[in-house]
Amino acid sequence: MYREDNYPGKLGKAEGNVQGKACAFSYLFLVSTGDASIEEAKRVSKITKIRSIDIQVHSILTFFIIRHCLILTGEIE
């Protein structure tokens, strides 16, 4: 019924002092809203140097509601 998946990804040294998160939602594959792009996560957190990109997916009833989030870890210069 409920599922949560995390897909970690690393670029070089994954250490960073700031995290930014951008999410998009989908309802029944018919309606989508939000912005889960790297640019949006950078804008929200003001990250200038990306150290890692992680993806988090939450779903309810497999396809009824899906939240797809992109999590950046990095530094502000």
**pLDDT tens digits, 59-72:** 998 778 999 999 99
Taking a C-beta distance cutoff of 8 angstroms, is the pair 41, 20 a contact? yes
pTM of the shown model: 0.79
Q: DSSP assignment, residue 48?
A: S
Taking a C-beta distance cutoff of 8 angstroms, is the pair 28, 64 a contact? yes
List, for residues 14-73, the tens digit of each pLDDT value: 667 899 999 999 999 899 999 999 999 999 999 999 888 999 999 998 778 999 999 999
17's tokens: 């002092």
Task: Please tell me the distance from the alpha carbon of residue 69 to that of residue 77, in angstroms, as a whole number.
Answer: 24
- Stronger pLDDT, 6 or 75, i.e. the higher one: 75
List phi, psi (to 5°) of 27: -120, 115
Boundaries of every domain in the chain: 2-75
Give the model's pLDDT for residue 16. Answer: 74
